Amino acid sequence: MTRALVLFAHPCPESFSAALHARVVETLTKRGWEVDDCDLNAEGFQPVLTEVERRGYHDVGPNLSAVQDYVDRLRAAQALILVFPVWNFGYPAILKGFLDRVFLPGVSFRLVYGKVKPNLTHIRKLAAVTTYGGTRLRAFMAGDPPRKCVTRAVWHVCRPDRMRYLALYDMNRASDARRAAYLARVDREMRSL
């Protein structure tokens, strides 16, 4: 049985992101996967890296104390699925804070002679499910930081067998039919991940 950590980052339960999150969890559960559903907002995750945490960032072992529960959940996962909207061409602050505070030295990577070596290689499947208010061209012109972070930085520390980056662009003008088609695509992709 595959164990998936689903990281959800949107504060509003009536949002389209919440519908995407529900579809991801439902589809993976129907596949028989064990789903650790981590709704960062509902859990009250604190995204701010404190001064104490930053000073102890490279102190492998003790650096886990403030986020041990989240580290344990990440280490138990064989699949990682991020569900989030893109705001201002970036992650919501709560998801960025999760990466800052939980993807620590000794957790997501090891430094070997100054080079980052992957440390989440037990994660064999990686996916992002997201929406952008702007068009694909606008995201491209801005460098599309969320896509690059998932497909390069997060990918690098996991080295998964399968990776999917699913994005609905131009969400601000998406019709009901377009949103329904995207939900169906997310369902198909989660069934084949």
The sign one gets for the Cα dihedral 63, 2, 163, 160 is positive
pTM, two decimals, is 0.96
* pLDDT attached to residue 40: 98
Instruction: Report the pLDDT value the prediction gives residue 154, as an integer from 0 to 100.
Output: 97
Q: What is the pLDDT of residue 178?
A: 97
Residues whose CB is less than 8 angstroms from the CB of residue 138 and which lie 6 or more positions away in sequence, other chains included:
132
Q: What is the pLDDT of residue 114?
A: 86
132, 171 in Cβ contact below 8 A? Answer: yes
Q: CA of 139: how far to CAs of 28, 87, 143, 167, in Å?
A: 29, 11, 6, 11
Structure confidence by residue, pLDDT tens digits, 106-164: 999 998 998 999 999 999 999 999 999 999 999 999 999 999 999 999 999 999 999 99
Listed by start position, the domains of the chain span: 3-192
Q: 3-192 in CATH: which number? A: 3.40.50.360
pLDDT more than 70, % of the chain: 100
Let me know if 51 is exposed, middle or buried by CB neighbors in 10 A (0-12, 13-18, 19+): exposed
